[in-house]
């Protein structure tokens, strides 16, 4: 599994931008796959703890049931309207991969000390792709950076 720490080690500069985009909003948008194969989007919070990126869910929430059945996910950091100062825009991050349900209480309590496996679901995110969209220094182009495990960061400008 590709942890947050692996991403940071392989793409440290990109990881700083992605973390800023993730931290810009408390709530992110999670895409999961429903039982009938249709997409579902849900609000979610994430956290980096230890070497991993985590998300939690209320017990038996639809998004948790989706991930338990099919662990594929896409996560969007959300975006902020830069208003009159585009240079302050942190950009937006999009991550995808597989969510691993954590049921080992010792590992669980190390991440969420006030939670319990009986009150919520906790998932560790296995990252298969991370994208950051931001602005060029001249603020005249979108800059898209793409990372996949074991590969160099690819950069596109539009």
Per-residue pLDDT, averaged over 97-119, amounts to 72
134, two tokens = 């931001």
Return the bridge partners of 41, or none: 31
- C-alpha atoms less than 13 angstroms from C-alpha of 63 in its C-beta half-sphere: 22
Tens digit of each residue's pLDDT (9 = 90 or more) over 75-102: 999 888 877 788 888 899 999 999 999 8
- Domains of the chain by start residue, with CATH: 4-157 (2.30.110.10)
pTM: 0.90
56, two tokens = 């939690």
State what percent of residues in the chain have pLDDT above 90: 75
In the block, tokens 């495990």 appear at 149
Tens digit of each residue's pLDDT (9 = 90 or more) over 34-63: 999 999 999 999 999 889 999 989 989 999
């Amino acid at each position: 599994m590709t942890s947050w720490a692996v991403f940071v080690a392989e793409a440290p500069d990109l990881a700083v931008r992605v973390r800023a985009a993730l931290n810009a909003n408390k709530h992110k948008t999670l895409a999961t796959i429903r039982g009938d194969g249709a997409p579902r989007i849900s609000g979610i919070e994430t956290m980096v703890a230890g070497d991993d990126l985590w998300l939690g869910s209320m017990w038996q929430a639809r998004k948790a049931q989706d991930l338990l059945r099919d662990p594929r996910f896409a996560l969007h950091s959300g975006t902020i309207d830069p208003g009159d100062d585009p240079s302050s825009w942190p950009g937006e991050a999009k991550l995808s991969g597989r969510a691993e349900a954590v049921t080992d209480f010792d590992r669980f309590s190390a991440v969420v000390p006030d939670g319990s496996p009986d009150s919520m679901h906790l998932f560790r995110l296995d990252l298969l792709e991370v994208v950051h969209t931001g602005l060029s220094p001249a603020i005249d182009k979108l800059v898209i950076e793409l990372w996949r495990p074991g590969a160099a960061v690819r950069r596109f400008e539009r």
